[in-house]
Amino acid sequence: MIENIGVIGAGQMGSGIAQVCVLAGYNVFLSDVSPEALQKSLLHIDRDIERQVARNKVLAKEKEEALSRLHSFSGYEGFKKCQLVIEAVTENENIKESIFKELIPFLDSKCLLASNTSSISITALGRATDRPDKFMGMHFMNPVPVMQLVELIRGIATSNTTFNFIQEVVKRLGKQSAVSEDYPGFIVNRVLMPMINEAVYALFESVGTIESIDKAMRLGANHPMGPLELADLIGLDTCVSIMDVLYEGRGESKYKPCPLMVKYVEAGWLGRKAGRGFYDYKGEQPVSTR
């Protein structure tokens, strides 16, 4: 039975995962290497649940109880009592593998491990642990409290028991799952990310402005957000990392990240989380930058 869930990485995804888990009644242990990220995350979770209270989706008492189940810290000491730890740090294989190496001595031998990676091989990440049978992909969508789907990915060594336990967690969170095989980008990003990359190429080649590309896809393809707004929401660094994984894994030039998106990442214009990406978010309304 899973009651205590650890979350490593308190960025936009880790915060959202921690939030939905405490609201579903789990005790959550949230860790980040950066004290500022942790502080920002706790504030964000508090504000977001408060918004749900204002909309009568959560009772004030439930908010209080949920926040009392949330524990935050740096390092790995706090994960000892966890039956499941979900990793949600920066999309970089070396960083993720080195975190698993440091984390494992602190875990109970039965503890399950999941990665929220958008694209990296679950089989390779599982191999970096002492428990590939207890390891799998649990790919939440952004923003976690709003999006219904969690993509579930088995590594080649993932056991059925692990899969079933994690599928139960998804159900208790009130979310739906879709199962993907362990290939680059899984299902969602294999299809979504080349579209976003193509939208950046359309901007790069001056086919349209930022606003016209987003408007065209919102109204012309009935997408709730334009691809460039969505890229800003995901984080341009994450988008480039996913394209790199698709390019390396598939070996086809159509997966090469657009040079303009790479340039934005070099400039630190990472999207909403940095206050600027294709849009500038410093004012009340986002303003397009090209």
CA distance 281 to 168: 38
Comparing every residue's Cβ against ligand NAD, the nearest one is 11
3-class SS of residue 173: coil
Please report how close the Cβ of residue 18 comes to ligand NAD at its closest, in angstroms. 11
Dihedral sign, Cα of residue 264, residue 269, residue 271, residue 276: negative
Instruction: Single out the residue of 4, 5, 7, 12 in contact with ligand NAD (rule: CB under 6 A).
Output: 12
The residue from 189, 197, 229, 241 that is catalytic is: 189
Find the distance separating the first CA and the last CA of the chain, reported in whole Å.
52
- Among 40, 114, 27, which Cα is nearest to 67's? 27
122 in Cβ contact with 93 (< 8 Å): no
DSSP 110: T
Cα 170 to chain centroid, rounded: 15
Give backbone dihedrals phi and psi of 149, rounded to 5 degrees, phi first: -90, 145
Whether 34 sits among the annotated catalytic residues: the reply is no
Please report how close the Cβ of residue 9 comes to ligand NAD at its closest, in angstroms. 4
Binding mask 99-118 for ligand NAD (x = CB under 6 A): x----------------xxx
Mode of pairing for the β-strands spanning 176-180 and 279-280: unpaired
Question: Cβ closer to ligand NAD: 8 or 122?
Answer: 8
The residue from 151, 177, 180, 197 that is catalytic is: 151
Dihedral sign, Cα of residue 119, residue 124, residue 126, residue 129: negative
Please report how close the Cβ of residue 203 comes to ligand NAD at its closest, in angstroms. 20
228 in Cβ contact with 200 (< 8 Å): yes
Whether 3 sits among the annotated catalytic residues: the reply is no
Question: Cβ closer to ligand NAD: 117 or 180?
Answer: 117
Peptide bond just before 224 cis, omega within 30 deg: no
Binding mask 223-242 for ligand NAD (x = CB under 6 A): -----------xx--x----
Please report how close the Cβ of residue 206 comes to ligand NAD at its closest, in angstroms. 27
**Helices and strands in the chain, H and E counts:** 11, 10
The residue from 4, 15, 31, 118 that is catalytic is: 118
Please report how close the Cβ of residue 22 comes to ligand NAD at its closest, in angstroms. 17
Phi-psi region of 283 (alpha: psi -120 to 50; beta: other; left: phi over 0): beta
Whether 164 sits among the annotated catalytic residues: the reply is no
Q: Is 142 in the site for ligand NAD (CB under 6 A)?
A: yes
Whether 252 sits among the annotated catalytic residues: the reply is no
Please report how close the Cβ of residue 15 comes to ligand NAD at its closest, in angstroms. 8
Binding mask 72-101 for ligand NAD (x = CB under 6 A): ----------------xxxx---x---x--
Give the pair of three-digit tokens for residue 165: 């336990």
Question: Looking at the annotation, which residues are catalytic?
Answer: 118, 139, 151, 189
List contacts with ligand NAD (CB under 6 A). Answer: 8-14, 32-34, 37, 88-91, 95, 99, 116-118, 139-142, 234-235, 238, 273
